[in-house]
Amino acid sequence: MASTLITVAPTGAEADKAAVPALPVTLDELVGTAKECEAAGAAVIHVHIRDEAARPTLDRGRLTATVAALREGTDLIVQLSTGGAVTDSFANRLAVLDAAPDACSLTCGTVNFGADVFSNPWGFIKELYQLTQERQVVPEFELFDLGQVATLHRLLGEFGPPAGGHVHCDLVMGVPGGMPGDVPTLAAAVAALPDGATWSATGIGRTTLPVLFTALAAGGHLRVGMEDTLSFARGRPVARNAELVERAAELARLAQRPPMRPAEARAFLGIPGRPA
Ligand code: KMH
Ligand code: ZN
């Protein structure tokens, strides 16, 4: 039976800990969340970290310690964000790979991001991609808009396949400024992906559930977490990341595509197993 890859994105760079106390921002909170989410059915964790004041940071020492702690405490595939916050420099975003994660995000173009701009010019994309190939870090191609799918084709055409040899994408839908989180847009994006690529989808904010149901129906995989939504239901804030994973896992089981476990996910994504 086919299974469903569930990624949890527990923190993000945007939500404010003071306003959202359930957001995991310390290393202990992150590892605790990761354990609960693994038990609930996640196989990948998409990681943004915070500093001692709960502000987003790309501090190399903290990133390295985070990768080590997540590996120690879980079997999850550790995917570091190279998107960071909209204020992060390209140099710091490239340096994320120094923390030697299993995987990283790689966004395929610039997008309006609410009142901000999430900047990913071609020069940065190709430098980051070549670095992932050199370091053998498996990229997940984050696609916020249909034009970014064209850039993904260009990237693969010019620089060849990614580390691990398999192309896996994440459709990030419903960002104010990116593609909407609806059925026709998801269908169009999936139809435009490179042959052989697999994909997950996540819907930001109120597009979370429509995108989740559409992705399952279309044979895709799922990303959920407090990076993408802070509401479990209308008027009911998310209490724990794990409840979003539990809901995704339950729906995946109902669709007869149960959650993929981390070892299976490693084989699926082309990520080597951990040394014993
Ligand atoms: N925080 C956003 C500006 C990624 O992680 O690669 C970018 C983002 C994408 O979250
Ligand atoms: Zn992210």
Ligand nearest to the CA of 120: 1
Of the chain, the percentage scoring pLDDT greater than 90 comes to: 98
Tell me the average pLDDT across 101-113: 98
pTM for this prediction? 0.98
140, 141, 152, 154, 161 from 158: Cα distances, Å: 18, 16, 10, 6, 9
Q: Which atom of ligand 1 is nearest to the CA of 172?
A: 9
Q: Which atom of ligand 1 is nearest to the CA of 105?
A: 6
Centre of ligand 2 to C-alpha 217, Å, is: 24
Centre of ligand 1 to C-alpha 273, Å, is: 26
pLDDT digits (tens, 9 = 90+) for 2-24: 999 999 999 999 999 999 999 99
Ion ligand 2 residues within 5 Å by Cβ: 81
pLDDT digits (tens, 9 = 90+) for 214-242: 999 999 999 999 999 999 999 999 999 99
The mean pLDDT value of the chain amounts to 98
Q: Which atom of ligand 1 is nearest to the CA of 14?
A: 1
Ligand nearest to the CA of 86: 1
Tell me the average pLDDT across 163-179: 98
Residues whose CB is less than 8 angstroms from the CB of residue 167 and which lie 6 or more positions away in sequence, other chains included: 141, 152, 156, 161, 193, 194, 196, 197, 198
Quote the pLDDT of residue 275.
64
Please name the residue that has the structure tokens 């550790």: 78
Q: Which atom of ligand 1 is nearest to the CA of 82?
A: 6
Q: Which atom of ligand 1 is nearest to the CA of 113?
A: 3
On the question of pLDDT at 200 being above 90, the answer is: yes
Grouping H, G, I as helix, E, B as strand and the rest as coil, residue 237 is strand
Ligand nearest to the CA of 93: 1
pLDDT digits (tens, 9 = 90+) for 22-54: 999 999 999 999 999 999 999 999 999 999 999
Centre of ligand 1 to C-alpha 260, Å, is: 24
| Residue 276: pLDDT band with limits 50, 70, 90 | low
Beta bridge partners of 181: none
| Residue 109: pLDDT band with limits 50, 70, 90 | very high
On the question of pLDDT at 1 being above 80, the answer is: no
On the question of pLDDT at 167 being above 90, the answer is: yes
Quote the pLDDT of residue 198.
98
Centre of ligand 2 to C-alpha 44, Å, is: 13
On the question of pLDDT at 169 being above 70, the answer is: yes
| Residue 274: pLDDT band with limits 50, 70, 90 | confident
State the amino acid at position 164 in one-letter form. G
pLDDT digits (tens, 9 = 90+) for 62-75: 999 999 999 999 99
Centre of ligand 1 to C-alpha 111, Å, is: 11
Q: Provide residues with CB under 6 Å of ligand 1.
A: 12-13, 81-83, 85-86, 105, 107, 113, 118, 142
Ligand nearest to the CA of 223: 2
